[in-house]
A and B are shown apart, each in its own frame.
Chain A
Amino acid sequence: MTLPPSEGSNPSNTQPGTSPGLRTPTGESVGQPDRGMFGVVGSGDTSGFGGLVRPPYAPPPTDRPYGGYFDEVVDSLTEALSEQEVAYADAIYATVVDRDELTLYVHREQLKTVARTLRDDAGLRFEMCASVSGVDYLDSRPEDPYRLHVVYQLRSYSFRRIIRLEVAVSVEDPHLPTVTDIYPTADWQERETYDFFGTIFDGHPALTRILMPDDWEGYPQRKDYPLGGIAVEYKGAEIPPPDERRAYK
């Protein structure tokens, strides 16, 4: 696998055992806590909830047993990876079960190995990549450098199962390998993710914008990209565009 030239800029991402985009190695969740109520900014908080502090959400890694078919999937994957001399913990830095869904947080260096194993192993057989999309965790965990997450939903026709892979990259080094040679269906979906989040899928046959115009600047689904819109005047009152209206958060 060819890794991006800027590989060295994020050394922690290449060290097995760290947890980009999830938790610091010490187990503390990154990001700044949420304070107060109603999202009051710039004026005094009269809600009476000014002292309220909520920790930022980061999914906690789950311990065994995971329940359902998840244990079997993780066991099969561990075994299949060890046959290729890859330790499970070196490829996957967190295993999260939340709301009956299994999420594997994968180091980007091992994404292709993991995806290929999940597709080909007789006990796994995730033949179909149902969905590829991105999430920008800037607002929710602003201090986390690995804010861009690429999320893959893999579906097994043979076993009627579905799991999720998640890869976290930073804005400064938004490279991760493509899975189009494993799942050809990821072609347009990776282009869409690139179009909206600016994550660069190395090895993609034609990584160009797909829904936005070719000459568009910026990545619209990032959280620091404004929604845009114009104020509307109605009977003398001005209604601001949606992202500038007063809102509860």
Chain B
Amino acid sequence: MTDPYAGVRDTTQGRVFTVTGGDWDALLQSLDPLAEERLVVNMGPQHPSTHGVLRLVLEIEGETITEARSVIGYLHTGIEKSAEYRNWVQGPTFVTRMDYLAPIFNETGYCLAVEKLLGIEAPERANTIRVLMMELNRISSHLVWLATTGMELGALSMMIYGFREREKILDIFEMVTGLRMNMAYVRPGGVAQDLAPGTEDKIREFLAEMPGRINSYEDLLSENPIWKARTQGIGFLDITGCMALGITGPVLRSAGMPWDLRKTQPYCGYETYEFNVPTEETGDVYGRYQVRLAEMRESLKIINQALERLAPGPVMVEDRKIGWPAQLALGADGLGNSLEHIKNIMGQSMESLIHHFKLVTEGFRVPAGQVYTAVESPRGELGVHLVSDGGTRPYRLHVREPSFVNLQGFPAMVEGGPIADAIAAGASLDPVMGGVDR
């Protein structure tokens, strides 16, 4: 290119113009700054705003994202493969570590699949406890979402409030299962143990406190001009996009589709509970925020109903070939086999001892076949495809993780928008990398 007003020379840094005249328009037109200023930026895998070890490869022009790709696999732990080498009862201990913010859902999904293969159903009380725990877990998961998303968009107090209330749920979990996370509490055939004394009072305390807390989150954020500016109209994805990309959960419901497996394909007796499926029409981050807030309120309603109908009864199937005979009890050195049971198997019944030993070391056999069960996790459809060859271990376990599938929607949400909105849009998908990578 020759220009009468500017001398041109090529350097190692690119072409340099020495402008002498005043004809700026012609000069600028001869350059396409966008084509030359294209930049590929790696966000992650250690970025604090990417919900774990997620790497986002963003091609940007100035502030605008022209192409976005997510790179995953940094947290792959081979849980599906490992589960093939453990017996059926050890399965919950593995799957609970997938989506670590919603462990009860992973366990329940897996156990429903095993139960379907076995052709058994958990007793009434076990189902009610599962529902109770799942809804508590849904609230705690949504609280973490609210807390981290608030933090990422600059609402730091929201983070503190969200984690504060989540702690109360984790206290309940600890009281019931002995662990705050990764509890392996739901087992094939029921749950590991009955609710500890005093649990119901503790949950009621939580139920009394929580509605006011949710109102305060709403007061803090819903009309906050910064929050609205960062979330309204951001990360848009309509029903067509969601369905094509297989996106489920709050993201699908924020686009206006009232699809919730608890209603459309009920399990654990959800058809007997009264609750609504909140939806929004906006399909943006703000809509997802509103859906999740409303879902927390609905979960409180379900927990209340579950508490009302908690009737005494067994929490594990009667079949002694499935349910472990050990009755757990609190001893001087913590939770363990009850002394009654130890006394029986060690002092009185050798057959019981053999039975106990065989059931724990060998495990039970599951008739050959395959099933697919799905539960509505806080992030969408959590499906478990389980294959048995008739042995004591799963032949193949595949978990259809909502985080994994939903993350495919990320480019559709952020391409063409500014880079700051990628944080809001990515957060609104609520991906948990433990679930994405498994």
Chain A residues engaging chain B, CB cutoff 8 angstroms: 38, 54, 57, 59, 98-99, 101, 103, 127-131, 133-136, 139-140, 151, 153, 157, 160, 162, 164, 183-189, 192, 196, 209-213, 220-221, 227, 242-243, 247-249
Contacts and interface: CB of A to CB of B under 8 A. Distances in A.
Interface string B85-129: 110000000000000000000000000000011010000000000
B389 A153 contact: no
Given A129-B246, A131-B400, 7 more contacts: A98-B369, A134-B398, A185-B246, A211-B76, A248-B362, A248-B363, A248-B392
Which size class do B's interface residues fall under?
35 or more
Contacts of A192: 404
Nearest to B73: A211
Contact of A243 (B85, B247, B438): B85
Contact of B368 (A57, A128, A133, A151): A57
B265 A212 contact: no
Nearest to B371: A99
Nearest to B362: A248
A157 B256 CA distance: 14
Nearest to A221: B81
Interface stretch (B138-146, B294-302, B380-388): B380-388
A164 B85 contact: no
Interface in B147-175: none
15 contacts: A57-B389, A59-B369, A129-B246, A131-B385, A131-B398, A133-B385, A140-B389, A153-B400, A160-B265, A188-B407, A192-B404, A210-B72, A213-B73, A227-B81, A227-B84
Contacts of A212: 73, 76
Contacts of B407: 188
Interface of B: 72-73, 76, 78, 80-82, 84-86, 116-117, 119, 243-247, 257, 259, 264-265, 361-363, 368-372, 374, 381, 383, 385, 387, 389-393, 395-396, 398, 400, 404-405, 407-408, 437-438
A159 to B, nearest CB: 10
A213 B383 CA distance: 25
A86 B235 CA distance: 42
Given A131-B372, A164-B372, A210 B73 contact: yes
Given A183-B246, A242-B86, A247-B85, A130 B391 contact: no
A230 to B, nearest CB: 14
A99 B390 CA distance: 15
B243 A128 contact: yes
A131 B437 CA distance: 15
Which 3 A-B pairs give the minimum distances between C-beta atoms? A185-B246, A57-B368, A131-B400
A211 B72 contact: yes
A238 B55 CA distance: 39
A99 B72 contact: no
